[in-house]
Amino acid sequence: MQTLHNMMQQQEYWDIIIRPKRHLFDIDLKELWEHRDLLMMFVKRDIVTVYKQTILGPIWFFIQPIMTTIIYVVVFGNIAKISTDGIPQQLFYLAGILMWNYFAECFSQTADTFVQNANLFGKVYFPRLIVPLSKVVSGLIKFGIQLLLFFSVYAYILVNNPHVRPTRWLLLFPYFVLLMAGMGLAFGIIFTSLTTKYRDLKFLLSFGVQLLMYASPVIYPVSTLSERARRIMLLNPIAYVLEGFKYAFLGAGVHTGKGLAYVTIFTVVMLALGIVIFNKTEQNFMDTV
């Protein structure tokens, strides 16, 4: 009996302690870091499983932007005669496509987090934010591979076209990518939180992303718009990132420090709002999914 009493008195130690969140804006960075192996496992799953049973495999990373660029050159460049600010059409469209696709993929892939992973979330505990973060990282890997295509075309045109020249804004390129990732993640986690209760919103996703692309300077430069249209266009924070990226590499595009500050503030606010909504939803989403 004494031995049993001593065992009951002995302090217990646990590898993992699950605690409820005390407030909505609660990000345990230490916990996220401890689960980095899980994050990389999700990233590997996203990259490998999509192309595992395909004939061309990762070559599809290059086929998609190449085919889209060709279509844009034919339709918007040669038929519609839309200006590209003196930049070669193939380079202008490729630059816009790569940056836009990364944002759109971050947004679309994270927008289905709760519904797509409901069974997994209901069986085991881990930081739920790991899943949307893995989509952002896997999209970044795909974006990095496609950049090789852009740099190849860019190097060739840089040698043969004196109108294409990089600017000092090239140093901000990683920051432009970070802003795109932040906005895609913010919109995605807000959207996935709302769709746990309002399922019909998912039908608007692809349609809404398509409309947003045409409301962003992917296929046309902001400089060709009227003054009024330009002011309206620049309310879209994505426009500053796209134009900044093009100006950094191509030397043509709208670029202001105020615009960059506006995008930064917008991204931080939307991320904070998204985390609050995401944390609130993850506490009881199993009752509605």
Tens digit of each residue's pLDDT, the chain (289 residues)? 445 445 444 445 556 555 555 555 566 667 777 778 888 888 888 777 776 666 666 777 888 899 999 999 999 999 999 988 889 999 999 999 999 999 999 999 898 888 787 777 777 777 888 889 999 999 999 899 899 999 999 999 988 887 888 899 999 999 999 999 999 999 999 998 888 877 777 778 878 888 899 999 999 999 888 889 998 898 999 999 999 999 999 988 888 889 999 999 999 999 999 988 888 887 776 555 5
Distance, in Å, from the CA atom of 97 to the CA atom of 219, rounded to the nearest integer, reads 8
Residue 286: the pLDDT is: 54
Residue for token pair 């090789």: 148
In our burial notation (b when 16+ CB lie closer than 10 A, e otherwise), range 231-270 reads: eebbebbbbbbbbbbbbbbbbbbbbeeebbeebbebbeeb
Let me know if residue 43 belongs to a domain: no
Let me know if residue 138 belongs to a domain: yes
Helix axes 89-110, 173-195, angle to 10 degrees: 40
- Hey, what are 101's tokens? 């696709």
Find the domain containing 112 and state its range: 57-287
Residue from 194, 217, 197, 216 nearest 205 by CA: 194
Let me know if residue 99 belongs to a domain: yes
Residue type, 86: G
Let me know if residue 115 belongs to a domain: yes
Let me know if residue 22 belongs to a domain: no
Let me know if residue 186 belongs to a domain: yes
Residue type, 221: P
Residue for token pair 């919103």: 201
Residue 5: the pLDDT is: 47
Contacts of 154 (CB under 8 A, 6+ apart): 91, 164, 249
Let me know if residue 46 belongs to a domain: no
Number of domains in the chain: 1
CA 274 to chain centre: 14
Let me know if residue 89 belongs to a domain: yes
